[in-house]
Structure 1
Amino acid sequence: MEFCDDCGSMMKTEGDHWVCGSCEFEKPRDEKQEQAMTTTQGQVSTEIVDVSDAEDQGLPSTKAQCPKCDNDKAYWYMQQIRAADESETRFFICTECEHKWREDDH
């Protein structure tokens, strides 16, 4: 990822140049520098969250319907599972059966 020297906006590649989408500043691409860049493609979160004794871990609770047992209370936490420029995902843990689900699961 490259940022514009003039305005600080994120730049995109166009052929053999970096081009700013905001102010049209251009600079040549440097292949060696780009090879040293870290990408988020293929990165997978390996963090393991122990859901047992969730209350003792200090997790906050909220009103949320468990899809497994219909309990209406769950612990929740946020975790970054996608690229850093995307929002975090909220996970829920049922206070009764400890079933775990994501906010966007249906």
Structure 2
Amino acid sequence: MEFCDECGSMMKTDDERWVCGSCGYEKARNAEAEQEMAVTTQGQEESEVVDTSEVDAEDMGPTTGARCPECGNERAFYEMKQIRAADESETRFFTCTECEHKWREDDH
């Protein structure tokens, strides 16, 4: 991962160059330095799929009054995650308690 020297945004690769999507700053890639940046999964445990078919609804987590866009049910499990910049609000993820349809809501 490389960050822009001009504005601090995360840069993306474009062939042999790093390019900032925010301000357009470019710099040459360095294969040796990038080799040291490589992330490996060696030593990390794989997560398992959890079967929740035998779990009571009360144990699934909190619910809220949210209308499912798929079936119209008025109840959904929810969780909140910070998936954008730290200074922006969290994203709310919902799962319908009836049909298990999943959707999300962001603040705009």
The Cα of 1:8 is off from its aligned counterpart by 0.2
The Cα of 1:59 is off from its aligned counterpart by 0.9
Rounded Cα–Cα distance in structure 2 between residues aligned with 1:89 and 1:18: 33
For 1:91, which of 67, 82, 94 is the aligned residue? 94
Secondary structure of the structure 2 residue equivalent to 1:76: strand
Question: Tell me, which stretches of 5 or more residues in structure 1 are unaligned?
Answer: 39-44
Matches within 5 A, 1:22-101: 22=23, 24=25, 26-35=26-35, 36-38=37-39, 48=50, 50=52, 52-65=55-68, 67=71, 72-78=73-79, 90-94=93-97, 98-101=98-101
Q: Answer whether contact 1:90 1:103 (CA < 8 A) is retained.
A: yes
Rounded Cα–Cα distance in structure 2 between residues aligned with 1:76 and 1:53: 13
4+ residue segments displaced more than 6 Å:
none
Q: Give the structure 2 partner of residue 9 of structure 1.
A: 9
Q: Answer whether contact 1:62 1:76 (CA < 8 A) is retained.
A: no
The letter of the residue matching 2:74 is: K
Secondary structure of the structure 2 residue equivalent to 1:9: coil
The letter of the residue matching 1:99 is: C
Rounded Cα–Cα distance in structure 1 between residues aligned with 2:33 and 2:48: 28
Q: What is the aligned-residue identity percentage?
A: 34
Q: TM-score w.r.t. structure 1 length?
A: 0.51
What RMSD, in angstroms, separates the aligned Cα atoms of the two structures? 3.8
Q: Answer whether contact 1:91 1:100 (CA < 8 A) is retained.
A: no
Aligned residue pairs total: 88
Q: Answer whether contact 1:7 1:23 (CA < 8 A) is retained.
A: no
Rounded Cα–Cα distance in structure 2 between residues aligned with 1:3 and 1:60: 39
The Cα of 1:9 is off from its aligned counterpart by 1.6
